[in-house]
Structure 1
Amino acid sequence: MMISASVRRLSCDYVVAVVGGGTGIGAATAEHIGRLGSSVFVIDEDATAAAATAAAVASTGARAGSAGADVCDVDAVQRAVDKAARWNGRIHAIVNVSGLQDRAGFDPAFDDFERTPRIALTAALVIAQAVVPRMYKAGYGRIAHLVSAGDLGLIGLVRSQSKELATTGISVNALVPPRGAIVEVAAMLAYLISPECIWPIGAIDNCPGKPT
């Protein structure tokens, strides 16, 4: 499915957390969302990288903060989310790029083959447990996961969560990005966590951008 990624300017009261925002697509997404006017809180296993991204977001004029947290550590993620919510008592949206891995090929290291999808699934569940209660209470929330094409387990989890939360005002989506289209992916993720994304999609299999 392809949809328009146009997003109007966001309010500084609109709080978005970006998990895995220390580098790469996560950092680009955090900066893009900041340029739209939203407050951005960057969460990454590397606290130094998270702080550097937050500084870059702040340079756009947006409010920014950061925390270091292992995405599979329930308590650490909850503390980071609680810290972000101190701005105005809410988390409106969260982007998760922590599980994105390229596992193409027929000869991956077994440990990586087993560990990577487990981390992706665990992170998605931990993140949902951290933010959904707040979003449910507010009657509004946006959750977007960036996933690899082969992450069928994670896509299945996202579809299940999307269906379960469909009547609550919370949308949960997964985006499979093309290679080399960081700007386009950041824009699409910004759309998925914006008020413009008004229906639960469950999963998006294509993102407009550069060919793979």
Structure 2
Amino acid sequence: MSENYGRASYDFANAVAVVTGGASGIGAEVVAHLRRCGARVAVWDMAALADDDAWKVDVTDLDSVERAAQEVVKRFGRIDFAVNSAGFAGPTMPLDAYDPLMWRRIVDVNLVGTFNVCRAVVPHLRAAGAGRIVNIASLAGKEGTPNASAYSAAKAGVLALTKSLGKELATTGILVNAIAPAAVHTPILAQMSPAHVQTMIDKSPMQRLGESIEVAEMVAWLCSGSCTFNTASVFDLSGGRATY
């Protein structure tokens, strides 16, 4: 990334954010970036973390999510931002070869999990009369990735949920937006063959993968006071790969 133009800076002092999937990958970078900007960040993840502000949360378990939301409000007094970054890609294979239980698990984590978190935090945001929700979707939800029917369908659902909820809350002071990244350089790529990773790079007009910090920078803008007239929107982060 070029540093020639300078980077935006944000003052999130006194703001409280919840970031799901915050233990690794994009979520961890979002946590770090929001903290650098002064926010207090509650990390929700299935992994156990040596972090005083981490909660072990299964986003597919509504009771777990609602308990964590109440505990965050009890500790910090409020929730201002919710970033839904928890995700699960699952295996890649033809639709008719998928184990139905695995297919459903992928949809549960990516789509139902996003619903559960939104359902738990929206009452707190509505009571405050302000807030930001940012859903990390995927270009797969717009274009459909072959041999990833569950992940593509779930992320398409996240995009539609974002548009629906954003319109529901448009007059409340709560803005709801989604980011649709193409392939991002995260540890999960180590699970893929070098040839598969190279194929993803070759599809990018910029001829590279995205970086987690680039996602985090967009999350910060969407949470900031500079974003005021964007809601129910999808922001591509694809190096030019997105076609609509």
**Cα gap change, 1:138 to 1:206, in 2 (>3 Å):** same
- The alpha carbon displacement at 1:101 in A equals 2.9
From 195, 218, 224, give the equivalent of 1:194: 224
From 134, 140, 156, give the equivalent of 1:144: 134
Match of 2:30 in 1: 29
Aligned-residue CA RMSD (Å): 2.4
Ranked by relative contact order (alpha carbons within 8 Å, sequence separation 6 or more), the top structure is: 1
Deviations 1:58-90 (A, max 9, x none): xxxxxx611001101111111111222224421
Taking the aligned partners of 2:240 and 2:93, their CA distance within structure 1 comes to 22
Match of 1:10 in 2: 12
Contact conserved, 2:17 with 2:42, CA < 8 A, in 1?
Answer: yes
Q: In the comparison of the two structures, how many residue pairs are matched? A: 194
Match of 2:149 in 1: none
The structure whose Rg is larger is: 2
Tell me the TM-score normalized by structure 2: 0.71
Deviations 1:120-176 (A, max 9, x none): 221111111111111101100100110122221111111000000000000111111
**Between 31-40 and 77-86, the greater mean CA deviation after superposition:** 77-86
**Cα gap change, 1:202 to 1:164, in 2 (>3 Å):** same
Taking the aligned partners of 1:152 and 1:169, their CA distance within structure 2 comes to 25
**Between 105-114 and 174-183, the greater mean CA deviation after superposition:** 105-114
User: Is 1:173 paired with 2:177?
Assistant: yes
Taking the aligned partners of 2:53 and 2:173, their CA distance within structure 1 comes to 26
Matched to 2:99, the amino acid is F
Deviations 1:25-68 (A, max 9, x none): 1011100110111111100012x1xx24x4xxxxxxxxx61100
Taking the aligned partners of 2:12 and 2:20, their CA distance within structure 1 comes to 19
Identity %: 34
Taking the aligned partners of 2:89 and 2:135, their CA distance within structure 1 comes to 12
Match of 1:109 in 2: 98
User: Is 1:72 paired with 2:74?
Assistant: no
**Between 81-90 and 97-106, the greater mean CA deviation after superposition:** 97-106
- The alpha carbon displacement at 1:192 in A equals 1.5
Tell me the TM-score normalized by structure 1: 0.81
Contact conserved, 1:162 with 1:200, CA < 8 A, in 2?
Answer: no
**Cα gap change, 1:103 to 1:162, in 2 (>3 Å):** farther
Contact conserved, 2:26 with 2:216, CA < 8 A, in 1?
Answer: yes
Match of 1:61 in 2: none
Contact conserved, 1:101 with 1:147, CA < 8 A, in 2?
Answer: no
Match of 1:95 in 2: 83
For structure 1, the residue ranges without an aligned partner over 5 or more in a row are 55-63
Matched to 1:138, the amino acid is A
Deviations 1:163-210 (A, max 9, x none): 000000001111111323211011111222223221242232412659
SS of 2:160's partner is: helix
SS of 2:233's partner is: coil
Taking the aligned partners of 2:220 and 2:226, their CA distance within structure 1 comes to 10
